[in-house]
Amino acid sequence: MRPEKEEILMRTSIEAIRPRGMNAAGLNELAAGLRRRVVGQSEAIEAIVPYVELFEAGLAPAGRPAGVFLLLGPTGTGKTRTVEALADALHGSERNVLRIDCGEFQLEHEVAKLIGAPPGYLGHRETQPMISQQKLNAVASERSGLSIVLLDEIEKAAPSMRRLLLGVLDKATLKLGDNTTVNFERSLIFMTSNLGAREMMSELHDRFGLASALPSQADAKVLRGISTGAVRRQFSPEFVNRVDAMLTYQPLDRAATERILDLQLEALERHIALRLGASAFQLDLTLGARNFLIERGTSAEYGARELKRAIHRHLIQPLARLVLDKAIDAGDVVDVGVGSGGAMLDFAPKSRQVPAA
């Protein structure tokens, strides 16, 4: 049966306001999902989610991006992870991000790569701008019309690039080399920077003697002061004024690194189940094995950045060898401990005990 004309009209007008729209339940799940995936940075998550809600409710202001965030703080503490996790939660894939590495735009003339060369310039036809309306739209999805843009290491951007960005942040438009414009009203823009991070680490070091000490609430405030101070020295007031929220990520404490290890081990088990299907196995790590990975994968300087590499090298690669050697049977639990020399992990596959009936 065909819907009545009036019904169609009504539906169309609602869709015009809330184009694809997530509902309230979906948005609650969004915040919870982000908190699960990004450990110990709830302040940042709580600041970001309302902007998604505003957009999904159809109430984001016109003529400017749906949200502009500057993510600050030490390396490896979850800044980029937050953006990936948001893309995953909103669109179902971490890849739904238009990512611009500002390190590639340190020289004045390099903005041409971003926006394409003006017509008539040598090589005009060959220059595909890195940003276009099409590319921006392509990172939205059926689930949400919000495009996520990541401008990584913004402090490296040349002044010419900063000037362009100012227009994006202020008016939500960017003029390309071919004179067309890109509209960012349906975008959340994340800029990351580790400005002030070095100063933050030495502040923590002075206070506690070791850089990995737990930051308290009061320290969080001090650290925020350091990073926002560094930003204000580096960026013009116009630029800073166009940022909706400056969010300072906290150094990871021991409990946070343990949670991150858990997340990565869970992801590894899912990967094993997915790839090996019926012949999948499970892992059981001793405390020693967990500490082994945390020691090698986390540091004050790089946060949890090296954890994936440590897991890859010390856990996944030896497991792959055991699989190739057919040393692990389907459904085994592999006990993982620290080898006798302390330089390697050691693996003991056990068939799972079937409880007696």
Ligand X SMILES: Nc1ncnc2c1ncn2[C@@H]1O[C@H](COP(=O)(O)OP(=O)(O)O)[C@@H](O)[C@H]1O
Instruction: Build a one-symbol-per-residue string for 44-83: x at contacts with Mg ion by CB under 5 A, - elsewhere.
Output: -----------------------------------xx---
Q: Under DSSP, is residue 100 helix (H, G, I), strand (E, B) or coil?
A: strand
Nearer to ligand X, 302 or 346 (CB): 302
Nearest distance in Å: CB 83, Mg ion: 8
Structure tokens at 336: 């993982």
Specify the amino acid at residue 348.
A
254-283 residues near ligand X, rule: CB under 6 A: 260, 263
Euclidean distance between CA atoms 241 and 223, whole angstroms: 20
Please report the DSSP string for 190-248 in residue order: EEE--TTHHHHHHHHHHHHSSTTSPP-HHHHHHHHHHHHHHHHHHS-HHHHHT-SEEEE
Residue 90 contact, options ligand X, Mg ion, none, Cβ 5-8 Å cut-off depending on partner type: none
64 interacts with ligand X by CB under 6 A:
no
Nearer to ligand X, 181 or 202 (CB): 202
78 interacts with ligand X by CB under 6 A:
yes
171-210 residues near ligand X, rule: CB under 6 A: 192
Please identify which residue in 30, 304, 310, 315 interacts with ligand X, judged by CB under 6 A: 304
Nearer to ligand X, 232 or 308 (CB): 308
Residues present in the chain in total: 357
Euclidean distance between CA atoms 81 and 58, whole angstroms: 27
* Beta strands 147-152; 98-101: pairing state: parallel
- Give 133: exposed, middle or buried? Use CB within 10 Å, 0-12, 13-18, 19+: middle
Please identify which residue in 64, 79, 186, 242 interacts with ligand X, judged by CB under 6 A: 79
160 interacts with Mg ion by CB under 5 A:
no
41 interacts with ligand X by CB under 6 A:
yes
**Helix, strand, coil percentages in the chain from 3-state DSSP, rounded to 5:** 50, 15, 35
Nearest distance in Å: CB 256, ligand X: 6
**Residues found near ligand X in the complex (CB under 6 A):** 38-41, 75-81, 192, 249, 260, 263, 303-305, 307-308
